[in-house]
């Protein structure tokens, strides 16, 4: 998983409980509540404790605008799951009597076509973020061959088999040629 | 009666399962390659339970896309399920809430295809009507297959070396899905514009390119279909 450079979850040492340094201040079970007040007179830990809570809230917000890492990734996946369930439940539970506008029905047909092709094109026509429309691009050639197989056969399994097979053969051939 | 309907739903789903199996394996393997922990990869199949959305998420995770983009993309890709929801709603209206929620959870492309055929067949409506058990059977057949094939993919993904270029299975799988459904000009316009804009917008920050390309592709499809009417 790529590292975003920004810590989404504060590490256990930074801002650890000022008494026992066992865990981030808000997680220290022994000194959770009173600790910061007790030590604040000496070290000003109250503000540090407050900072830790803000960082925790921030981490969830950051997950929305930065690439989420392990703990916040669970939250993102949970939201995606809930939304998916809500879409499936929508007419069954809440909108049963409503009629879907024809525009909506029409438009939805294009969603998978546009989204999936928007994923396919950069995968096969680009390498390392640069356009790579040339015969040395094995992914492009294997992708086009797979497209032709899909067009003629309309067979999903055959398309995957030929596409991957073609890709592996071309990989081996180009390796041997170099 | 419940049992017969359940088994019948399960049986009618079987031919479709053969096609679902490789997707589950590919998803599981791609999730591992994208760096998802195995438990998360497996549980995503329970929580989200939607093939292409899950495969797209693995790519977004690998590319380090922000959470909001993941959520919006997941929402847009799964929006078509609202159509299925509207289509089956009249048939499940009489059921209790737990049943409705259970059946909604099991509402996928593949289950819908089988279930709606049963609900709209000219066969005389059985009395008492236990067709929701048919729906449940078809849905569970798919759910079980999806979980098991994900597990197989998670296991395989950890074994397959990087040099095999397994990530290429993603565009190939999507080609196998998209190309056969390009039936008219409007659909082709949506796909072509979506693809080309994705190339042009690839450099956009925060992986916004995918959503931008999708919006342009959908608009292109709408414009072409409006012109032809």
Strands A126-127 and A130-131 turn out to be: antiparallel
Q: Which residues of B touch A71 (CB under 8 A)?
A: none
Residue of B nearest to A92 (CA): B89
Q: Which residues of A touch B165 (CB under 8 A)?
A: 167-168, 171
- Does B72 score more than 90 pLDDT? yes
Measure CB to CB from residue B104 to each of A88, A142, A147 and give the nearest one. Answer: A88
Nearest-5° Cα angle at B25, B108 to A175? 135
Count of A-B CB contacts under 8 Å: 289
The answer to whether the CB of B84 falls within 8 A of the CB of A88 is: yes
Task: Give the per-residue pLDDT at A90.
Answer: 92
pLDDT tens sequence across B191-214: 999 999 999 999 887 778 888 999
- What CA–CA distance (Å, rounded) separates B213 from B222? 14
Residue of B nearest to A4 (CA): B64
Q: What is the DSSP letter of B75?
A: H
Measure CB to CB from residue B75 to each of A83, A139, A147 and give the nearest one. Answer: A83
- What CA–CA distance (Å, rounded) separates A51 from A38? 17
- Residues ≥6 apart with Cβ < 8 Å to A100: A91, B82, B83, B86
Arithmetic mean of pLDDT, B162-167? 81
DSSP reduced 3-state for B181: helix
pLDDT tens sequence across B24-35: 999 999 999 999
DSSP line for B130-172: -HHHHHHHHHHHHHHHHHHHHHHHHHHHHHS-GGG-GGGHHHH
pLDDT tens sequence across A21-59: 444 444 444 444 444 444 444 456 566 667 777 776 777
DSSP line for A132-145: --STT-HHHHHHHH
Arithmetic mean of pLDDT, B88-110? 93
- Does B56 score more than 70 pLDDT? yes
Of A3, A63, A117, which to mutate for an interface test with B (greatest number of B Cβ within 10 Å)? A117
Task: Give the per-residue pLDDT at A45.
Answer: 58
Residue of B nearest to A116 (CA): B174
Report the predicted TM-score, pTM, of the whole model to 2 decimal places. 0.76
Arithmetic mean of pLDDT, B134-163? 93
Q: Which residues of A touch B71 (CB under 8 A)?
A: 64, 76, 79-80, 83
A108 vs B19: CB contact, 8 Å cut-off? no
Long-range contacts of B123-131, Cβ-Cβ distance < 8 Å, separation of 24 or more: B126/B1, B128/B1, B130/B1, B130/B2, B130/B5, B131/B5, B131/B91
Identify the weakest region by mean pLDDT among A66-75, A155-164, B134-143: A66-75
Among B176, B164, B102, smallest CA distance to B135 is for B102
Torsional sign, CA B53, B54, B56, B57: positive
Of B85, B167, B184, B188, which to mutate for an interface test with A (greatest number of A Cβ within 10 Å)? B85
DSSP reduced 3-state for A24: strand
Residue of A nearest to B87 (CA): A91
């Amino acid at each position: 998983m790529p590292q975003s450079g920004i810590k989404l979850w504060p590490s256990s040492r930074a801002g650890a409980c000022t008494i026992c340094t066992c865990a981030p201040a808000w997680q220290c079970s022994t000194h959770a509540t009173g600790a910061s007040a007790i030590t604040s007179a000496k070290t000003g830990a109250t503000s540090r404790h407050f900072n830790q809570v803000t960082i925790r809230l921030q981490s969830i917000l950051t997950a929305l605008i930065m690439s989420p890492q392990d703990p916040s990734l669970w939250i993102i996946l949970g939201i995606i799951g809930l939304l998916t369930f809500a879409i499936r439940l929508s007419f069954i539970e809440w909108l049963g009597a409503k009629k879907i506008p024809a525009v909506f029905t029409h438009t939805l047909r294009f969603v998978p076509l546009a989204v999936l092709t928007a994923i396919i094109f950069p995968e096969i026509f680009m390498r390392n973020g640069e356009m790579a429309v040339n015969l040395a691009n094995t992914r492009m050639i294997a992708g086009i061959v797979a497209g032709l197989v899909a067009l003629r056969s309309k067979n999903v399994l055959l398309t995957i088999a030929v596409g991957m097979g073609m890709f592996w053969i071309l990989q081996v051939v180009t390796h041997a040629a170099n | 009666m419940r049992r017969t309907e359940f088994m019948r739903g399960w049986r009618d789903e079987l031919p479709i399962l053969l096609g679902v199996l490789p997707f589950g394996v590919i998803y599981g393997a791609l999730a591992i390659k994208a760096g998802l922990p195995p438990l998360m990869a497996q549980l995503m199949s329970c929580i989200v339970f939607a093939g292409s959305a899950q495969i797209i998420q693995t790519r977004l995770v690998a590319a380090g896309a922000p959470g909001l983009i993941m959520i919006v993309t997941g929402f847009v890709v799964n929006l078509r399920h609202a159509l299925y929801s509207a289509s089956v709603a009249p048939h499940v209206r009489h059921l209790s809430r737990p049943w409705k929620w259970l059946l909604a959870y099991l509402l996928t492309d593949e289950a819908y295809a089988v279930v709606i055929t049963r609900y709209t067949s000219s066969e005389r409506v059985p009395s008492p009507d236990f067709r929701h058990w048919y729906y449940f059977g078809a849905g569970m057949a798919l759910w079980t297959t999806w979980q098991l094939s994900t597990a197989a993919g998670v296991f395989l993904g950890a074994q397959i070396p990087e040099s095999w270029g397994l990530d290429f299975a993603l565009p190939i799988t999507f080609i196998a899905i998209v190309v056969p459904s390009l039936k008219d000009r409007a659909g082709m316009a949506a796909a072509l514009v979506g693809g080309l804009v994705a190339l042009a917008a690839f450099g956009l920050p925060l992986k916004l390119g995918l959503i931008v390309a999708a919006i342009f592709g959908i608009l292109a499809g709408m414009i072409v279909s409006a012109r032809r009417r």
